[in-house]
Amino acid sequence: MAKKAKKKMTKKKTPKATKKVAKKVTKKVAHKGTKKVAQKSAKKVAPKKGKVTTKKVAPKKEAPKKESAAVIKGESLRIGDKAPVFTLKDQNGKDISLSDFKGRNVVVYFYPRAMTPGCTVQACGLRDSFAPLKELDVVILGISADTSKKLKQFEEKQELNFILLSDEDHKVTKSYHSWGLKKFMGREFEGILRQSFFIDRDGVIVNILHKVDTGSHHQTVVDFFKNRK
């Protein structure tokens, strides 16, 4: 009888003990789980050490724009001024001076670069106006920073019939104030400004084109000198 009673007692006590142990274990696990979750959430919320969340960003100071060396404030050539004299190499490597054409009408035109689309249109328009320009005794002198070799290629490719001059160091371009800041596709840079200067038989500037339409430039030249006859 005693053995049976002991068996019953062990049967009854065992499940209760295991239940209590299980509850304690689940409580500990749950407590650890909540602690870990709390720690993770606290890490996310709490700002990192050494970093200030309310940092004020100081406005950037804009660097002063550099003024082009070619453009001097208050200075530029005007109608009535004597045209600056010069001597440059042409497409054949020969020295050409403005003074060589004293007593004739001269158009000195500055263009950015040989064989580019706009410059080609402008040059071909002057080429095709050879007859009326000759009749008006107008000499065309095109000036760019290209080498004489490149100008020769331009002449041959487009069958040009007037003088092209090489101003590689930009000295003549700057003396005519045709070198300055340019903008292209949001980029700023210094380069040759497309401008034309009409010079009479006495070497005086009688007209200046600061904005040139490459498609009608030749006609503007012809019309101007026709009206001066």
Residue that wins the pLDDT comparison between 68 and 25: 25
Which one is catalytic: 96, 106, 119, 199?
119
Residue type, 41: S
Domain membership of residue 13 as a residue range:
1-38
In eight-state DSSP terms, residue 155 is: H
Say yes or no: 105 and 27 in one domain: no
Residue 54 has pLDDT above 60, yes or no: no
Choice between 215 and 5, residue whose per-residue pLDDT is larger = 215
Same domain, 121 and 195: yes
| Number of domains composing the chain | 2
**Is residue 149 in some structural domain?**
yes
* Residue 62 belongs to some domain of the structure: no
Structural domain includes residue 101? yes
136 contacts: CB under 8 Å, gap ≥ 6: 105, 222, 225, 226, 229
CA distances from 47 to 40, 41, 50, 92, 152 (A): 13, 12, 9, 74, 70
Among 76-90, 106-120, 176-190, name the one with the lowest average pLDDT.
Answer: 176-190
* Residue 124 among the catalytic residues: no
More confident call, 28 vs 200:
200
29 and 141 inside one domain: no
Q: Does residue 99 fall inside a structural domain?
A: yes
Instruction: Please provide the average confidence, as pLDDT, over all residues in the chain.
Output: 80
Q: Does the pLDDT of residue 68 top 90, yes or no?
A: no
Mean pLDDT, residues 177-196? 88
What does pTM read for this prediction?
0.68
pLDDT of residue 39: 53
Judge if 12 and 120 occupy the same domain.
no
Do 97 and 204 sit in the same domain of this protein?
yes
Residues 119 and 182 in one domain: yes
SS3 label, residue 78: coil
